[in-house]
Amino acid sequence: MNDRDKGKVKKSGGSILVIMAGILWATMGIFVRQLTGYGLTAIQISTLRLTVAAMGYIVIMLIKYPVEFRISWKDIPLFISLGVCGLAIVTCTNFTAIQMMSMSTASILMYTSPIWVMLMSIVFFHEKVTKRKLAALSMAFLGCILVSGSGGGLVTPSGILLGIISGISYGSYSIIGTIALRKYPPLVVTTYSFLFAAIAMCIISRPSEFVVIFTTSPGRPGLLAWSVALGVVTALVPHLIYTIGLKTTPASKAAILATIEPMMTTLFGAVLYSEPLTMGAALGILCILGAVMILNLSVSEK
């Protein structure tokens, strides 16, 4: 195998990792439904996900990159804002939306994040407004209207609002993360983001209630297994393999490949929970995915 063929294999391997990450992220709704059955709230489930992932990242950093684990004290507020705004809020709002609506609707509303990134970039970084960006924004807005107007009892105004907030919060991770990545490696940024997000969630999630639930639940082994798997499957592993995949896959291509996440979420919801998908909702999802792809294609052409 020559160097050119090896390069192709590496690139295809990176794309596969990105797709795998998207599929793993799409399983979040499954874990939320299972843990809700044990009596956990969206905030408590969010706390479990972020805490398990944070512990995993800390172990990896201490073993493989102990020197890089150090950060400047003056950058702590940056990482706190990144963890709270970009991880804690998005996880809470998305998980609550999943409990209130169909998994597909909650996922696609969170997936409006590139649109909010575009708007925030225009405001904070003074990026130019192009026809392509306006077209993407219009498609995304139309998609949100179609999604919110479809689905019958599976869609609620408060659920739609929470879904949109999750998209804005998810988008803020890219904006704040861009600043952090100017000074620190990706794994360091990810580790501290999850750490401060987990700390914030532990403060507001009433730890005493966790003790009661985990000590009195008749299905404690299953509860523990689902809790650990939540953090590993939907946070620790996908974030790691996505980061590895980015080494050989352009960010613009990776973002397009990651659109498999809401598609798989819709499939999981339909197959596992018999969630209906109306024609209007399907068109709305396609509009939002189309808007995301337009934005990412515009990036790849630059």
| Interatomic CA distance for residues 56 and 63, integer angstroms | 11
User: Are the C-beta atoms of residues 137 and 291 closer than 8 Å to each other?
Assistant: yes
Residue 301 has pLDDT above 70, yes or no: no
65 or 278, greater pLDDT: 65
Which has more confidence, 34 or 255? 34
For 118-174, write each residue's pLDDT tens digit: 788 788 777 777 888 788 878 877 887 776 655 545 678 899 899 999 999 988 887
Contact (Cβ atoms closer than 8 angstroms) between residue 258 and residue 23? no
Q: What is the pLDDT of residue 154?
A: 64
Mean pLDDT of the chain: 84
pTM above 0.75, yes or no: yes
Q: Which pLDDT score is estimated for 5?
A: 45
pLDDT, position 176: 86
Of the pLDDT bands very low, low, confident and very high (cuts 50, 70, 90), residue 297 is low
Lowest-confidence region among 101-105, 229-233, 257-261, 263-267: 257-261
Mean pLDDT of 254-259: 70
Q: Which of 55-64, 118-127, 223-232, 290-299 has the lowest mean pLDDT?
A: 290-299
Residue 189 has pLDDT above 60, yes or no: yes
* Per-residue pLDDT at 149: 59
User: What is the model's pLDDT at position 80?
Assistant: 96
Q: How far is CA 240 from CA 63, 154, 254, 281, in A?
A: 15, 33, 14, 32
Top-ranked range on mean pLDDT: pick from 13-17, 18-22, 177-181, 266-270:
18-22
Checking if the pLDDT of 6 tops 70, the result is no
Find where tokens 């649109």 sit: 115
Instruction: Report the alpha-carbon distance of residue 222 to residue 231 in Å, rounded.
Output: 15
pLDDT at position 11? 54
- The number of beta carbons lying within 10 Å of the beta carbon of residue 130 is 11
Q: What is the pLDDT of residue 19?
A: 87
Confidence check: pLDDT of 250 > 80: no
pLDDT band at 4 (very low <50, low <70, confident <90, very high): low
Alpha-carbon distance 133 to 245, whole Å? 27
On the question of pLDDT at 225 being above 90, the answer is: yes
CB 151 within 8 A of CB 97: no
What residues contact 74, with CB distance under 8 A and at least 6 apart? Answer: none
